[in-house]
Structure 1
């Protein structure tokens, strides 16, 4: 029996059992929303409250946690040639109580004398009380005017969490990244004449063919997309990540769509219902407060970035300055938990991605820079075959949220039928004895996508494959 047939039978059986259950069948809750997946090769580290005991950060990814109103220090040893980017992602568990604007994460880099090397970067929540991953980077830049923080030596990364006394008291897991950018050969490019911030946003793509994709829980398992229209599912209170390759001269025209509400009679207004945020290859924010309201008639969150240009780092607007190098750009889509009144079983999500502009030659780095040059190592952008084939089971999972008993019962019924078929087949000469085996995808319909990032704490880049 082919895999697609197995999947169809399992889905039909599970849906039939779900339909028999009374009450709030299929209603999503915070327990149904997957948490942020840390990089499997990340190195655990524990930041300290002062510089005297600060642990040493090395290039790569690290994991820690931070309490409410806590400040943590990490030591780094820098050369006098490379620009460095220190990212931090805070990932409170879904359902954690957060206060909009009041719960905040800040990161900065300072020298041994306590002087801040560049402007500190601070991010807060913009979806009411919905918790979702927030983050940004602080940098030590080589190039440009001034001499501060250009010398080799010891520096400190400082991470601070500010919190409201009425928000959840639990510690937040954090993921710290340390990425290096070597200098460029020859003349350093200057800021472009225009950063594109005043350019009229073009219409979104309107392809009729919607390709399936499965968004990840964070940067480490982000779903791969390219130019086109993509479809996924998202639960209230959930955040999904996607990644797209962008090179010198190109820019992103993005739209995330929610459909009209399928539940008639609901008139509740949900402010900041759908968010579409963008991060650069070093996990720096391009845009982080791009949320739109929803009141049942569909919604679109849009973003049109500046073109990728090395000289953007010397520009004025922060969103354009973040478009400073090529590589994987990350899209973060969040559905406010209050949207449950419209989408109790989850919502269809349409992602319209348009990589605009012709690729052009950029500056040449004087050393290895895989994070900022190797955007498509395996030459293909189609979703993995497992992702494409998992669509039916994903519908079952969303349709039966909170009804695991029904799903297991449905799958159990299918297994019983399959075993009986296997027993019958065994009595027939030449019949395969494997007819009763449940395929791996059906055995584990909610199994998360396997981590794609290579092991080892030094790995800091997009998922491979």
Structure 2
């Protein structure tokens, strides 16, 4: 993939005969450079043959994530900085501590994703618990995530928070806070260590005090599923590589034991809803309980909602329960599906097909359809007194909306098909694009 860096170097050599010539050459380079970048990106994405052996793609950790070692005691806890992502490991027994050094005004979140290896034995009640505590041992929050009816090892994420609010008296001051990560579940489960991905985030306070209770009423009727022609969109292998989708019908394939990640832009005042359909099998018999899992996480990777479906070999589907419109005040709700819908941004849909599906119906891959709906008109967000870490986390950009359209999916799919049919490498494609750019740029410069 070394050739994909050549476009940046070639830009310095574009013709510079006069103002008009420079402008035209720049625009031409910009357009052709975008095409070259798309082809390089497409070449970097593994196609179906990359996992032809039937092994599910491993979890894709965030590139450049820092390594951090959890401590058995809060005294030795390593510091997590908001705006950064980390890699760690959770042993089969015991618990780990990490530290947050917080001010008295910002709300902090930590999401921890556990990634048990393929073949790991897990029960429905096995899972992960995240607690945030102050220096006195007072619990600020505690959330748990479980493998559920699938009883299949796959990435699960739980989150914790130190929330700053005028309605709270505990965990409000500046100082050191501790994130406790521990395994929960039944005795006799696998004692293998689980790789972890930790993401720390900060949310600024509001300039003016907002509502102190969640909205009491909202449209909780089940929306009609989206219909129409499905666009191809393969899922990512982790939160960091989640594929963008928006309202529409999306299609891909999934293998037993595989987990697919998607991200969907949801703005303030909007309601997301999603249904995932697993296609019928070509053979086999039996029943797999909780074979299909559909989970929703908010922009800080906080759990919101989950749905399951068993599988008999016939097509089946799982649908998220109705969710409230995104609102800052939802944080004051009691149910997960209400308090989780507390900010705008890129929400995550995670689809898992239980590994044991292969025992009854074969290794697949199986057809998968995602029906995504986003209702409501985008509204202005709350007036924050500062910026989030990482920045712009709680907003939806024009780039997000563009990437969530079926047209955006077509660009990547077309590039992949062209590379697959032609059997040419990204370096060859890039050289061809740059060659065309050079010829056209010279002609335009000479014409001036």
TM over 0.5: yes
Give, in whole Å, the separation in 1 of the partners of 2:426 and 2:281: 30
Maintained 8 Å contact 2:93/2:191:
no
SS in structure 1 opposite 2:315?
A: strand
Maintained 8 Å contact 2:232/2:410:
no
1:439 corresponds, among 424, 427, 437, to 424
SS in structure 1 opposite 2:199?
A: strand
Give, in whole Å, the separation in 1 of the partners of 2:427 and 2:352: 28
Give, in whole Å, the separation in 2 of the partners of 1:442 and 1:294: 44
Relative distance call for 1:79 and 1:37 in structure 2 (3 A) is same
Give, in whole Å, the separation in 2 of the partners of 1:37 and 1:176: 13
Whether 1:183 aligns to 2:205 is yes
Give, in whole Å, the separation in 2 of the partners of 1:392 and 1:298: 32
Which residue number corresponds to residue 56 of structure 1?
79
Give, in whole Å, the separation in 2 of the partners of 1:392 and 1:350: 24
Which residue number corresponds to residue 301 of structure 1?
318
Maintained 8 Å contact 1:393/1:442:
no
Q: 1:136, CA displacement in angstroms?
A: 1.7
Whether 1:354 aligns to 2:354 is no
2:269 corresponds, among 249, 254, 274, to 249
Give, in whole Å, the separation in 1 of the partners of 2:207 and 2:119: 48
Q: 1:368, CA displacement in angstroms?
A: 1.4
Higher normalized helix content (fraction of residues): 2
Maintained 8 Å contact 1:213/1:232:
yes
1:16-42 per-residue CA deviation (whole Å, 9 max, x = no partner) reads xxxxxxxxxx784xxx11111111121
Give, in whole Å, the separation in 1 of the partners of 2:414 and 2:254: 16
Which residue number corresponds to residue 258 of structure 1?
278
Query: What is the 5 A alignment of 1:144-223?
Result: 144-162=166-184, 164-194=186-216, 196=218, 199-207=220-228, 209-223=229-243
SS in structure 1 opposite 2:331?
A: helix
Give, in whole Å, the separation in 2 of the partners of 1:161 and 1:388: 44
1:203-248 per-residue CA deviation (whole Å, 9 max, x = no partner) reads 21111x1111110111000011011000011001111000000011
Give, in whole Å, the separation in 2 of the partners of 1:51 and 1:64: 16
Give, in whole Å, the separation in 2 of the partners of 1:291 and 1:144: 38
SS in structure 2 opposite 1:189?
A: coil
Whether 1:34 aligns to 2:60 is no
Query: What is the 5 A alignment of 1:25-424?
Result: 28=54, 32-59=55-82, 60-101=84-125, 103-118=126-141, 120-162=142-184, 164-194=186-216, 196=218, 199-207=220-228, 209-263=229-283, 266-288=284-306, 290-303=307-320, 304-340=322-358, 341-369=360-388, 370-377=392-399, 380-381=402-403, 382-383=408-409, 385-390=411-416
Give, in whole Å, the separation in 2 of the partners of 1:257 and 1:391: 25
Relative distance call for 1:379 and 1:267 in structure 2 (3 A) is closer
Give the root-mean-square deviation of aligned CA atoms.
2.5
Give, in whole Å, the separation in 1 of the partners of 2:155 and 2:298: 15
Maintained 8 Å contact 2:265/2:400:
no
- Larger displacement relative to structure 2 (88-97 or 349-358): 88-97
Maintained 8 Å contact 2:164/2:172:
yes
1:284-330 per-residue CA deviation (whole Å, 9 max, x = no partner) reads 00014x21111122111101321101010112222111000000000
Q: 1:344, CA displacement in angstroms?
A: 2.6
Give, in whole Å, the separation in 1 of the partners of 2:417 and 2:152: 27
Structure 1 residues not aligned, in runs of 5+: 4-13, 16-25, 395-413, 415-436, 444-465
Q: 1:389, CA displacement in angstroms?
A: 4.1
Which stretches of structure 1, 4 residues or longer, exceed 6 Å deviation after superposition? 391-394
1:49-82 per-residue CA deviation (whole Å, 9 max, x = no partner) reads 0011111111211110001122001111100010
Maintained 8 Å contact 1:69/1:163:
no
1:122-144 per-residue CA deviation (whole Å, 9 max, x = no partner) reads 11112443111111211111114
SS in structure 1 opposite 2:121?
A: coil
